[in-house]
Amino acid sequence: MTSDFDSTADSRSGPSEAAAPSWPQLRLDRDVDVCVVGAGLAGLTVAYELARGRLSVAVLEARQIGWSASGHMLGTVRPGYGVPPTELIERIGLHHAKDLWVLSSYGADYVRAIAAQIPELAIGEGALEVSTIESGDQLIERLTLLGNEFGTAVEGWQIEQVREALVTDRYFHGVYYPGAFQLDGRRYLHGLAALAAQAGARIYEGTEVVSIDPDGIRKRIVTPQARLRASHIVLAGNVHLGAPHQRLTDTLLPVWRYAGVTAPLGERLAEAIRFSGSVADSHGIDHFRVVGEDRLAWSSPETTFSMAPERMAKSIARRIRTVFPQLGEVAIERCGCGVIGQTVHGMPQIGQLQHGLWVASGFGRQGLNSSALAGKLIAQAILTGDDRWKLFAPYELVWVGGNIGRVAGQAISWATRGHAAAQGAVARYRERARARQLAREERREAALAMRNAPPAEQPPPELTDAAAAAPARDNVSPPPR
Ligand SMILES: Cc1cc2nc3c(=O)[nH]c(=O)nc-3n(C[C@H](O)[C@H](O)[C@H](O)COP(=O)(O)OP(=O)(O)OC[C@H]3O[C@@H](n4cnc5c(N)ncnc54)[C@H](O)[C@@H]3O)c2cc1C
C-alpha cells in the first residue's frame, strides 16, 4: 500500500499521484517584496496573486509542496466554512454573517476559475450534505437561510430522494449544492504552483523558516542556508509553522485526517451509490465520492496524534461497511493523511498580526474555498489596501491548550462521533418503529374494509377466515426487529 491516492484524468478522479515537479532549495540570500512561509493551498494562492500584481515573491516550503493536508484532500469545493451558518449569525449577527458567507462563495468561484487554467484538470459538479438524524424542520430552516438570506443555490432533498441516490438507511434528509464541485486536489495544488511560478513567484522546497524578525520596515527571515529580507511576511504554515511564530501555532489544534481509495468495486458500487458528486454528513464524520470508474474515495477517521495512514485503512473499510453494508468486504488500496489546523472557534485565521505580518491558516476540513479566499484577500490588502480581511476580526487567535487541548480535542471528537452515532441509531429505530406502526394500521384498515364490505355472492372460505382473523391478529404487537 502506498501512502497516496491515485488519479485518472476524469472529473471523478481522486487526489493524484502524478509525479510532482520539484523546486530548488534556497541557498543564496535574497531581497523580496513578500516572503510567504508554507507552500500549501493558502501560501501558493497568495503568492500567485501577489506575483500577478508584479511584486517579487519568495515561497519557502520546509518539505515538499503538498506533503500535508493540501496534497491529501478529497477536492470538494463548497461555499461556507467549518461552522454552520446559524452559528455565524449567533456570534456576529445576520448582516456580518452574510458578508462572510458571500466571501466564502467567492473563494469557491476563485478555485473554479483557477482550475479552468490548469491543463487536464476536470471538474465534477454537485455536492450533497446528508443528515444522520431526521431533521426535516432544521432542513427547511437551513434552506431558507442559505437560499433566501445568503443567496446560495441549494435544494432540499427528502429522505426518499437521498436514499434513491445513496442506498443506505444511515442518511435521512439532504441539502444539495448544485454549484459545488470537486476536482483532483493534488493536481490543482501543483497547477497552482506552476501558475504562481509563471507569474514570477520563486518557490523553494526543502527550505524551512527557522525564525523571523517581523519588527521594522524590512523584515528578516532565517532559513538554515540563507536569509531573506522582505517588506511583508505571510505566515501560511498551518499547524506546522512552529518556531517562527510559536504563539500562532499554539492557536491551532492539529487534527490528522485520513483518507483512502478502495480497490475497484465493480457494479455493486453503482447499485449502492447513484450520486456522482461528493457526499458529506452534517456531523463532518464521513466524506466520500466515487472516483475513476468504480472506486470509492473515503475520508473519515481523525486523531489528534499522528498514526501511520496504513494503520487507519481498516478503520476506513469499517466505516464504509457500516454505511454501505451491501458493498461487503472492501479493500483499501491506497491510504493517506494530512494534518488540518482546527481553531477553537472553527473559523479560519485571516488577517494582519502587526504591520506587514500576515496570517492565513486554520482552514480546518473546508480549506479549498477558504484558503483561496484568504490568499486573494491578503494579496489585495498588500497590493491595494483593501481591508475586507477585517471582516474576520471577530474571530481572534485563541490558544487551544497545548497537549491538554489535544487530549480534550480527541475526547470531544470521540464524544461527538459517539453522540452522532447514538442519535443516528435512535433516528433509525424511530423510523423502523414508524414503519411497523404503519404496517399495523394498514392491516387494521384492510381488515375493517373486509368486515364492512357487502358479502360477496360466493366468498372463498379461506378469504372469509382471513378477514375474520385479521383484527384479532392486529392486537398482538409484532416482535421488535
Ligand atoms: C484527508 C483530508 C481531506 C480533505 N478534504 C477536503 C475537501 O474535500 N475540501 C476542502 O475544502 N478541504 C479539504 N481538506 C482540508 C484542506 O486540505 C486544508 O484545509 C488545506 O489544505 C490547508 O491548507 P494550508 O495551506 O493552510 O496548509 P498545509 O497544506 O498544511 O500547508 C502548509 C505548508 O506550510 C509548510 N510550513 C509550515 N511551517 C513551515 C516553516 N517554518 N517553514 C517552511 N514551510 C513551512 C508545511 O510544510 C506545509 O507544506 C481535507 C483535508 C484532509 C487532511
pLDDT at 183: 97
Q: Give yes or no for a contact between 35 and 228, defined as CB atoms under 8 angstroms apart.
A: yes
**Ligand 1 site-directed mutation target among 73, 74, 188, 319, most atoms within 8 Å of CB:** 73
User: In terms of CATH, what superfamily is 30-400?
Assistant: FAD/NAD(P)-binding domain (3.50.50.60)
CA 38 → CA 125, 130, 274, 361, distances in Å? Answer: 30, 34, 39, 10
Closest CA to 55 of 178, 188, 210, 199: 199
Residues of the chain with pLDDT under 70: 1-20, 401-431, 454-481
317 Cα to the center of ligand 1, angstroms: 24
Beta carbon of 69 within 6 Å of any ligand 1 atom: yes
DSSP reduced 3-state for 147: helix
- Ligand 1: which atom is nearest the Cα of residue 210? 41
User: 4 CA to middle of ligand 1, Å?
Assistant: 15
Helix spans in 241-387 (H): 246-249, 267-272, 309-323, 367-384
Ligand 1 center–CA 151 separation, angstroms: 29
pLDDT for 136 equals 75
> Is the CB of 75 within 6 Å of ligand 1?
yes
Q: Measured between alpha carbons, how far is 285 from 263 in angstroms, rounded to an integer? A: 22
pLDDT in tens, 85-127: 999 999 999 999 999 999 999 999 999 999 999 999 999 999 9
pLDDT at residue 439, rounded to an integer: 76
Ligand 1 centroid to residue 338 C-alpha, Å: 7
Q: Which alpha helices (DSSP H) does 76-226 contain, by range? A: 85-92, 94-115, 136-144, 159-165, 185-199
The verdict on the CB of residue 40 being under 6 Å from ligand 1 is yes
CB of 368 shorter than 6 A to ligand 1: yes
Per-residue pLDDT, 75: 97
- In sequence order, the β-bridge partners of residue 342 are 253
Atom of ligand 1 nearest to the CA of 241: 38
Residue nearest to atom 33 of ligand 1 (CA): 38
What's the pTM?
0.85
Q: Of 13, 60, 67, 68, which is best to mutate to test ligand 1, by the most ligand atoms within 8 angstroms of its C-beta?
A: 68
pLDDT of residue 428: 65
Question: What's the CA-to-centroid distance between 190 and ligand 1, angstroms?
Answer: 13
The answer for residues whose C-beta is within 8 angstroms of residue 476's C-beta and 6 or more apart is none
Q: Is 248 in the pocket of ligand 1 (CB under 6 A)?
A: no
Q: Which of 66, 16, 21, 75 is nearest to 39 (CA)?
A: 66
371 lines ligand 1 (CB under 6 A): yes
Distances (CA, A) of 379 to 73, 108, 193, 388: 24, 17, 16, 11
Cα–Cα dist 287/213, whole Å: 41
List the chain domain ranges: 30-400, 417-474
Helix intervals (H) in 291-401: 309-323, 367-384
pLDDT of 38 reads 98
Nearest C-alpha to atom 2 of ligand 1 is from which residue? Answer: 73
Ligand 1 atom 4, closest CA: 73
Q: Whole-angstrom Cα distance, residue 258 to residue 339?
A: 9
User: What is the SS3 assignment for 235?
Assistant: strand
- Indicate whether residue 41 lines ligand 1 (CB < 6 A): yes
Residue pointed to by grid coordinates 499547524: 239
